[in-house]
Structure 1
Amino acid sequence: MSKDLQSFDTRNTYSVASSDYAVAAEEFWGFISDDTVARLDLRPGMRALDFCCGPGPMTVRMAERVGPTGHVEGVDILDEMLGITQRRVRERGLDQVTLRHGDIDALPPGGERFDVVNCSLGIYFAEDMVRTLAAFWSYVRPGGTLAITTIGRRLFEPVLPVFFEACRSERPGMGTYLPWVRTEDPDVVRALLDAAGVTGAEVTAADTPLPLGSPEAWWPIVHGSGLRRLETELGPEAEERVRKTCEEWIAEHRVDRINVGTVRAIAVKP
């Protein structure tokens, strides 16, 4: 694992942010789940697997598509995320969902059991992404589909550079590494899939404008994303100054939307 990835405490960041991330998954990130589901040929009775399921936006959407005769399994490393997903599926009566704790760095052989295997916004946390992608592929049955979504370039522009600068002004030398930069290039994602033996993958990149209803809407995005790690490191007083700096900049420049770049890969197993 790279030193950069080691510097990002994934478990603590997302454990602390689990509730806020759950809100963001619907308010900010929901379009990723909607777009992914629309690309998949999910039908009643199918079996689907959702790695790095987090608070369950994709798990729920897939379960609704496969219906009560199908089955969806959600896997995550954080008990806090699994607890949120469990509440969501119970509220919706989705008895076709099972959830389990799992580490994408230590997956057993898959046995080609699933019609659809998905991992949204999670592969870049793997120590060895090639090994993990090969493990994902082992769960896909012949004729089944693997779907991978990562964050692309220009995330949260034009506000993110302002946020980084404000953080470093409070703590000179502060590291602002974020794991998703490992897979923001479509060519990198394609090469990883090729190395993992995933054949015939279609890899595309897209920029999606995310409405920013007010300057104050920026901070919930920080709370509900991996940026939470930097916020936590700042401490309460510095955090408040950074928040104020960002909100004033957004208001001054009349920013009403931010960019969310994504890289998506779809592969059908021969």
Structure 2
Amino acid sequence: MHIQAESEWDDPGVVAAWRRWRSRFADQTRGFTEALLQAAGVVPGMHVLDLASGAGDPALALAKAVGPRGCVTATDISDAMLAIVSDVAHQEKIDNIGCRRADAAALTFPDESFDLVTCRLGIMHVPNVTEALRESRRVLRPGARAVFLVWGGSPAEQGAFLHHRILARHVEMPVLLPNAPGPLRFAAYGSLSAALRGAGFRQVEETTHRCVLSCAGPASELWQSIREMAAPLRHLLAGVSPDVRERIHEEVETALQSYSHGERIELPATVHIATGLR
């Protein structure tokens, strides 16, 4: 998932978009979830803490993996997003998952509470990332593992970011400072594992995975889901003229269509997964 400021996550339009497109996004990013679960070594009976759970990935998949003897606590800074997780769990009859509002850098759980901590596409957006990693380590039982998945490589390698390159031709894009919260904060290989070591984790490992974001349906629908779910993008597009906005839509849809394979659009994606033991 992509983390925005707390007020943006609670924006009714953003929340409605995540409800609308949740299952589609879960399908697109299934490879990320599978890679994270494999790296985590999930087994039945585990008690898992998932950080920045958003609309439920990977928390819902984790709940299925740990089985009825295990449990998952899904956390996020937005109650509205957690409500989506709760509703989906109810619909799918997943009763071993609980939702709790939490700041990753100030967890309220007791020491040594969990067998596993996970975070998929979230840790790079946390402002106080050092404290968040220390908190993750604190709530783990001795010898237990934390697993973090982040975007890797350069923007040019990421099909999911192709609209950024198009937007830059039409509007002034925000400048991200080095090490500031943002999607590519840990894109440099080794930077995330270094942060884990700095937070006290041991036996730290980092691997790179090249995946495919496989998206069913036309390019126009995929672009609609992207721009509706990302609050900063919604705001950016709202500030341009209708003519410019229409040109951006046309260029992005054409670019996405170039990745079409039959009835699906398959975008290349690179992620890093870093793991460490308490």
**SS at 2:203 equivalent:** coil
Q: CA deviation at 1:86?
A: 0.2
CA deviation vs aligned residue, 1:71-114 (integer Å, no higher than 9, x gap): 21111101121010001111122222111111113224641111
Q: CA deviation at 1:19?
A: 4.2
State the partner residue of 2:174.
175
Kindly indicate whether the alpha-carbon contact (under 8 Å) linking 1:43 and 1:66 is maintained by their aligned counterparts in 2: yes
Could you tell me which of 191, 201, 204 is aligned with 1:201?
A: 204
**Is the alpha carbon distance of 1:95 and 1:109 closer, same or farther for their aligned partners in structure 2, counting shifts above 3 Å?**
closer
State the partner residue of 1:102.
102
CA deviation vs aligned residue, 1:168-202 (integer Å, no higher than 9, x gap): 3433x332647022111121111111110111111
State the partner residue of 1:43.
43
Kindly indicate whether the alpha-carbon contact (under 8 Å) linking 1:154 and 1:260 is maintained by their aligned counterparts in 2: no
**Is the alpha carbon distance of 1:62 and 1:53 closer, same or farther for their aligned partners in structure 2, counting shifts above 3 Å?**
same
Could you tell me which of 246, 250, 269 is aligned with 1:244?
A: 250
Q: CA deviation at 1:138?
A: 0.8
| Structure 1: gaps (5+ residues) | 1-7
In structure 1, distance between residues paired with 2:194 and 2:77:
26
In structure 2, distance between residues paired with 1:29 and 1:199:
29
Could you tell me which of 222, 226, 251 is aligned with 1:222?
A: 226
In structure 2, distance between residues paired with 1:24 and 1:155:
23
Amino acid at match of 1:92: E
Could you tell me which of 254, 262, 268 is aligned with 1:259?
A: 268
In structure 2, distance between residues paired with 1:183 and 1:44:
31
In structure 2, distance between residues paired with 1:53 and 1:165:
28
State the partner residue of 2:112.
112
**Is the alpha carbon distance of 1:156 and 1:57 closer, same or farther for their aligned partners in structure 2, counting shifts above 3 Å?**
farther
In structure 2, distance between residues paired with 1:258 and 1:78:
29
Equivalent residues in 2 for 1:149-164, closer than 5 Å? 149-155=149-155, 157=157, 163-164=163-164
In structure 2, distance between residues paired with 1:14 and 1:29:
20
In structure 1, distance between residues paired with 2:173 and 2:88:
37
The ranges of structure 1 where at least 4 consecutive aligned residues each deviate by more than 6 angstroms after the TM superposition are: none
Equivalent residues in 2 for 1:86-97, closer than 5 Å? 86-97=86-97
Kindly indicate whether the alpha-carbon contact (under 8 Å) linking 2:193 and 2:275 is maintained by their aligned counterparts in 1: no
State the partner residue of 1:123.
123
Kindly indicate whether the alpha-carbon contact (under 8 Å) linking 2:45 and 2:68 is maintained by their aligned counterparts in 1: yes
State the partner residue of 1:3.
none
Could you tell me which of 187, 191, 198 is aligned with 1:188?
A: 191
In structure 1, distance between residues paired with 2:53 and 2:236:
26
Q: CA deviation at 1:215?
A: 3.2
TM-score, normalization by structure 1: 0.84
CA deviation vs aligned residue, 1:112-143 (integer Å, no higher than 9, x gap): 11111111111112222111101101111113
| Structure 2: gaps (5+ residues) | 261-265
Amino acid at match of 2:146: L
TM-score, normalization by structure 2: 0.81
C-alpha root-mean-square deviation of aligned residues, in Å? 2.6
How many equivalent pairs are there?
258
**Is the alpha carbon distance of 1:62 and 1:211 closer, same or farther for their aligned partners in structure 2, counting shifts above 3 Å?**
closer
Amino acid at match of 1:240: E
| Residue 211 (1) aligns with residue 214 (2) | yes
**SS at 2:183 equivalent:** helix
